[in-house]
Amino acid sequence: MAYFDAASAVPLHPIARQALQASLDEGWADPARLYREGRRARVLLDAAREAAAEAVGCRPDELAFTSSGTRAVHTGIAGALAGRRRVGSHLIVSAVEHSSVLHSAELLEAAGGSITQVAVDRAGLVDPAAYGDALRGDTALACLQSANHEVGTEQPVGAVAEVCREAGVPLLVDAAQSLGWGPVDGGWSLLTASAHKWGGPSGVGLLVVRKGVRFAAQGPVDERESGRAPGFENIPAIVAAAASLRAVRAEAAEEAVRLRELTDRIRARVPRLVPDVEVVGDPVRRLPGVVTFSCLYVDGEALLHELDREGFSVSSGSSCTSSTLTPSHVLRAMGVLSEGNVRVSLPPGTAEEDVERFLAVLPRAVTAVREKLGAPVSQTVVKEADALVVDSLGKRCPIPVIELAKVIGDVPVGGLVRVLSDDEAARLDIPAWCEMRGQEYVGEEPADKGRAFLIRRAS
């Protein structure tokens, strides 16, 4: 089985396993106690904090260990907003942030605060000037991920941090996806990360608050972790997290070159091997091991099951999954195809042979899914005076796009096709299909049920 979902979680690094096992015998006691066992636990905790701080590029007393990366984000945003509540309650986020950031933004908005969501381009990249335009007199905090979790695009953190610094606004950076590859440059104010993203154990997050940043921890606090992460520290897991971070950093430069070559191979060959595919994300500013593509006329969940049967574990941002019927917010913000989406994220140590086998398997997996979804369109197509109408009401992606593709040739150049759909994904996938196939997307309009999407045949 080839595990290609490192953006979700990286397998436990051997150094993490060794450190975890070794510290179980020494790190079980309360590090706040002065007796021998407590002092031993304190030594382990302090050493782990120093190692993690060195990897981040901060002072040890600026770094707190939390119970997860999500908890670090929630605590960091809430504390920074509370610390600057006299300034205002305006928060800036990018449209492609991790859900933990967006959920915090929703909570602020529900409490009466205001949110500005900065748009991204088709590669998933923010414009630093857009952050500058979003800044206001009541802006308390800005957030920006260092690299995107779905498409791998790396953001211009340094430039955005400089814009925020000039305005006196702190910037929180979600570094979960990138910290294992290197420190985050720039004058950021707060940083969060999660150990299971670099090969440490799950249940350990990092929250860094630079000295001088106004911060007021919310909720009940105690004396642990500077009052920012109450509760007994999981010292063996923390030690393993810090040890594995140091280990992967030592291997990062060489492994990044190797994984980038493998993902470049996937980026280049998938469109040649599989017709009607869009590779998404920035081709240059991206994480070494992540490549994401979307396949027209493919159910994303079905394709993932097909690849799983072939021995490959991949993930998807497709709207067609068992957990959601709406497109990925990242793909939607980028304006790219969402149906049949596959994210391949290679963990360190991925064998070249596994990548070659994936490239051999993928075409027949996509073909098999497309054949299963090949629905007849004779019962769904009618003619109006000015357009051909495809009734896809009640049908989920990618059926509306499949039916559109089958009938576009039945209208003359300049003619219209109206696709009736009540699937939210159609708002993203039909325009994306037009972009890929050189057809003109006219827009959408209300219909008796759902929406009518208008496409003009351009070629």
Q: Catalytic one among 58, 295, 320, 434?
A: 320
What's 154's DSSP letter?
B
- Count CA within 13 A, CB hemisphere, residue 204: 30
Q: What angle do CA 143, 148, 153 make, to 5 degrees?
A: 115
Alpha helices in 348-445 (DSSP H): 352-372, 399-407, 426-437
Neighbour-count burial of 272, counting CB atoms closer than 10 A to its CB (0-12 exposed, 13-18 middle, 19+ buried): exposed
Contact 193, 76 (CB under 8 A): no
Structure tokens at 437: 């196939």
Distance CA 447, CA 97 (A): 33
Distance CA 8, CA 6 (A): 5
- Closest residue by Cα to residue 281 from 331, 236, 245, 327: 331
- Count CA within 13 A, CB hemisphere, residue 258: 13
Assess whether 320 carries a catalytic annotation: yes
Contact 445, 454 (CB under 8 A): yes
Structure tokens at 341: 């989406």
Distance CA 452, CA 455 (A): 10
* Side chain identity at residue 373, one-letter code: L
Q: Output the CA–CA distances (angstroms, integers) from residue 8 to 147, 339, 344, in the order listed.
A: 13, 20, 11
Instruction: Identify the residue whose tokens are 């990062």.
Output: 252
Structure tokens at 413: 């150049």
Active site amino acids: 320
